[in-house]
Amino acid sequence: MKKVAIFSLSLLILFVPSQVLAQPKIPILVYHSIDEFKGHGSKELYVTPKNFEKQIIYLRDHGYTLLTFDRWQDIDKVNKPIFITFDDGYKDNLNAFDIFQKLTNEYFKPSGTIFVISDFIGRSNRLSKSDLKMMADSGIFSIQSHTATHPDLTKIKDYEYELKGSRVKIQKITGKPVIALAYPYGNFNNKVVEETKKYYLFGITTTPELFSEKGIKDEVYLLPRIYIKYSTTLDDFARIVEGK
């Protein structure tokens, strides 16, 4: 009996810590255009409004909590956290805004993050200042930075304009803190991370995996994201967010 007790205790020592320390895997998804594809640009960078709505309904019906980076501290406090992000600030992201509004209820409050290129704000196919202000004021969208001109940050020298300048411009428009930067093309290196840390609390890549805390240096400046594309089926989407 004594040997059985000792063996059981050994098993507890071996296996319980690993379970306790196991970190949940959090999806951070990246979209571009929420619209019908009309033959302009890359088709895979579009998701139709109908498919996008189905994806958000899936998240609602499977108990996900949509967060923005302003609520990063809540990832350990909410049920099934997930981040929905949009790059470039296209005008058709208003379709996503409309869908979020439509699906909002007492129990489900969808939210997302739009990473805008600050010098492109107001162009014909981009969100305007008034669009961004309205979306930020709604509390549904957090407006963050995708730099000033969308350069490859590993190949530039004027980080202050691209990083600080874009942050200041966006903050003036929305009146809200800009704390997160999405690296253009997902490109970064040690220099880019060090410059980003001067102005932002988060750096977002396009490394295609779910996020889980590993305790590595500068972890929140290396956040991965998974693309949701035109060809992504609802079954694909479910596998992605469930980490299968």
pLDDT digits (tens, 9 = 90+) for 93-147: 999 999 999 999 999 999 999 999 999 999 999 999 999 999 999 999 999 999 9
Instruction: Specify the pLDDT at position 168.
Output: 98
CATH number of 25-242: 3.20.20.370
**Does residue 173 have a pLDDT over 70?**
yes
Instruction: Specify the pLDDT at position 241.
Output: 98
**Are 203 and 222 in contact, with CB atoms under 8 Å apart?**
yes
Instruction: Return the structure tokens found at 183.
Output: 């690296």
**Does residue 1 have a pLDDT over 80?**
no
**Are 118 and 89 in contact, with CB atoms under 8 Å apart?**
no
**Does residue 235 have a pLDDT over 60?**
yes
**Does residue 239 have a pLDDT over 80?**
yes
Instruction: Specify the pLDDT at position 151.
Output: 98
Mean pLDDT of 189-210: 98
Instruction: Specify the pLDDT at position 22.
Output: 62
Instruction: Specify the pLDDT at position 244.
Output: 85
Mean pLDDT of 202-218: 96
Residue written as token pair 């596998």: 239
Mean pLDDT of 69-83: 97
**Does residue 32 have a pLDDT over 60?**
yes
**Does residue 9 have a pLDDT over 70?**
no
Based on C-alpha coordinates, what's the Rg of the chain?
20
**Does residue 6 have a pLDDT over 50?**
no
Mean pLDDT of 228-238: 98
**Does residue 175 have a pLDDT over 50?**
yes
Alpha-carbon distance 225 to 112, whole Å? Answer: 14
Instruction: Specify the pLDDT at position 24.
Output: 86
Instruction: Specify the pLDDT at position 45.
Output: 97
Closest C-alpha to 146, from 62, 204, 72:
204
Mean pLDDT of 22-33: 92
Instruction: Specify the pLDDT at position 17.
Output: 45
**Reduced to 3 states, what is the DSSP secondary structure of residue 112?**
strand
Instruction: Specify the pLDDT at position 72.
Output: 98
Instruction: Return the structure tokens found at 128.
Output: 């305007």
